[in-house]
Amino acid sequence: MVAADDRASARTRIVLADVVRRDSGREHPRTELAEQTRVGEALVRGLVRAQLSLALRLWLVVAVGLGGLPWLFAIAPSVSRVTVLGVHLPWVLLGVLSFPFLVVVGWAYVRLAERNEQDFTDLIQRPKR
Amino acid sequence: MGNGYVVPAIVAVTLITVGIGFYGLRLARTTSDFLVASRAVSPTWNAAAIGGEYLSAASFLGVAGLILKHGVDVLWYPVGFAAGYLGLLLFVAAPLRRSGAFTLPDFCELRLGSRRLRTLATAFVIFIGWLYLVPQLQGAGLTMATLTGSPYPLGALLVAAVVTANVALGGMRAITFVQAFQYWLKLTALAVPAIFLVLQWQADGRPAVTPPEGPTFRTATTVVVEHPATLTLPDGQQRQVRPGDELTFAAGEPVPQVAGAAADPADWLLPSTEADEQGLFTTYSLILATFLGTMGLPHVLARFYTNPDGAAARRTTLVVLALVGAFYLLPTVYGALGRIYTPHLLLTGETDAVVLLLPGAALGTETTGRFLAALVAAGAFAAFLSTSSGLLTSVAGVISTDVLGRGSVRGFRLATVLAGSVPTVFALNVSGLDVSQVVGLAFAVAASSFCPLLVLGIWWRGLTSRGAAVGVLVGGGSAGGAVLVTVLGPPLTGWPATLLAQPAAWTVPLAFAVMVAVSTATRRRVPTDVSATMLRLHTPEALRP
């Protein structure tokens, strides 16, 4: 019983937000990036812009590819009547093909976003060598 | 039903969930375990856990029910629920992980440094969490009532009590393994019966899902009406039915049409056309809400912290997208076959029960049919338990830290009871609403409040705390108001009803516009450390000192 009580009193409650705040507040990490104020900031701005435009372009692909469908079905009802293996086209497109489509777009994004980051890392680390 | 396997299956799922939770907690006792062990989780496990927490009663029961009732137009629900993870991946996943924020209020404080905004975000987390908890409990009540014949409130109260007790006693706190187990259980519980159902449909000579004369009863059926409705009989007569009425149909007799469901087989089979402007608006509004709402759900974000870094957060999200997408192939099968084997659900209005009843109706009461029905019931319970536990943990977490003040364990327990009881009261009073519709409203509120906050906060240096606060209030407030009017207000018709029932198409752009406009007007309030924050959000961890 005593051991159990000891253990109970030794338990502390950790709020993750506090941990994060503590870490970031105490150390004030000044990377080389942050120190080279102008150049560093321009580089970060470039990275953010590259990542955002990548995200927006792929979002546009989805917006046209999937978001265009209700409009297409509405203005061209004959498209909805086409059947594939006995199933109407809207059911095939929405019920089956939309999911692999989303995964492919996501996969492309992960690859391209990682490439952007790699380019950025190379750019930062080159002067050191 | 008299299926002897159902109750043991439900009890087993509950016990396994609670059991794994307690066992896992004993393994992760020290604080370093709690912080570090979670980081050692591989993207695949983590993704299964996120999927397990995400696939709720709405996904498991509601989507198939909606498809049974409304047909092709509601396929946008599963597509949107999956596409939400693409939005999360493209705009939020990696930067959010790099920010180090554990909850949405944390993010607000880290990015904009405002305690007031944090409080506002807390209020919205609680509202969205409750709105999302209601349909989970509703689904539980419906499942128990359908399978065991118990009164509706019993199931809702039972699940609410189990989940609240479990979360309050610390049984299921962020244990990745439990949630990952739930994902695979839910997938199996839908996939295995679906295979048998399709084989049975083949064996029956592939009856048409939409015969030209409308759905018919395959067997002699007695239907007990549960909700008042207006039926249109095959000869064109109208008939009012009240709860408790019994209607008997012979085999082969056509199913009377119910006002509110897709009347004509072509409406069910084919998308709405140009003439139906409101239908088109509703579809686009739904697309916007689900595509953008996922990133604002409180229990989804908390899980991202268990990724080791931003790149892993991205990969995890991609795997989640694949897992969730695979799951959403299945409800369509149930919805479509439900037209053939359980058309009486269209009459009773209990379309959400199609997943539960279809195995028994199509495969008969032999051992296979009963076993599969029990499997589906177990999956449904896994859905309620995992999603409501995740939501309740998130809501109770913000209540105990931000509302009650830096909480002790006792504070957290009190917060849990508080967080669990409010949605329970609501769930007991809204049994007539479709599970998926209520969930759709929660997505609309999340898409109109947290989505603009996260997207602009991550990508736009110019966001100010005042702009964020006003945007969240206006966007989230109008979506939330629309929800309350829809759920509690008088019945409306025409455009006002459409605009309020699916508000995202106007509330999301409104929230973005207000946030940008007010931030631009209060430009001098842009945080001075915005460059450092942007650096932290967007640069790879490898470059940090």
* A28 within some domain: no
Residue A71 inside a domain? The answer is yes
Residue B99 pLDDT > 80: yes
Higher confidence at residue A50 or residue B175? Answer: A50
Other beta carbons within 10 angstroms of residue A60's beta carbon come to 11
Q: Which domains does chain B possess?
A: 6-210+272-429 (1.20.1730.10)
Asked, for residue A46, whether it belongs to a domain, the answer is yes
Asked if the structure places residue A7 within a domain, the reply is no
* Predicted local distance difference test score (pLDDT) of residue B226: 66
pLDDT at A102: 93
pLDDT at A129: 45
Of B283, B315, B329, nearest to A110 by CB-CB distance is B315
Taking a C-beta distance cutoff of 8 angstroms, is the pair B538, A48 a contact?
yes
At residue B88, does pLDDT exceed 80? Answer: yes
From chain B, pick out residues whose CB is under 8 angstroms from the CB of A88.
72, 269-270
What confidence tens digit (pLDDT) does each residue in A81-115 have? 777 777 788 888 888 899 999 999 999 999 999 88
Cβ within 8 Å, pair A114-B314: yes
Helix, strand, coil % over all residues of chain B, rounded to 5: 75, 5, 20
Chain A positions touching B287 (Cβ under 8 A) are: 66-67, 70
Containing domain of residue A75, as a range? 34-128
How far A107 CA lies from chain B's nearest CA (Å)? 7
Which residue's entry shows tokens 């002699």?
A: B220
Residue B274 has its nearest CB partner, among A48, A74, A99, at A74
Looking from the CA of A39 toward its CB, the CA atoms found within 13 Å total 9
- Does residue A29 lie within any of the structural domains? no
Say whether A14 and B317 touch across the interface (CB within 8 A).
no
- Shortest CB distance from B273 goes to which of A13, A74, A88? A74
Do the Cβ atoms of B284 and A70 come within 8 Å? yes
Q: Which string of b and e fits B427-449 if b means at least 16 CB within 10 Å?
A: bbeeeebbbbbbbbbbbbbbbbb
A42 min Cα distance to partner chain B (Å): 10
Which chain A residues are closer than 8 Å to B535 by Cβ? 31, 33-34, 40, 44
Report d(CA B497, CA B134) in Å as an integer. 22
pLDDT in tens, B324-348: 999 999 998 888 888 888 777 777 7
Choose among B76, B271, B321: nearest Cβ to A106.
B321
Q: pTM of the entire structure? A: 0.83
Mutation for B interface: A20, A99, A116, A128, most B CBs within 10 A: A99
**What confidence tens digit (pLDDT) does each residue in B287-306 have?**
888 899 888 888 777 777 77
Is residue A15 domain-resident? Answer: no
Is residue A10 a part of any domain in this protein?
no
Count of domains forming chain A = 1
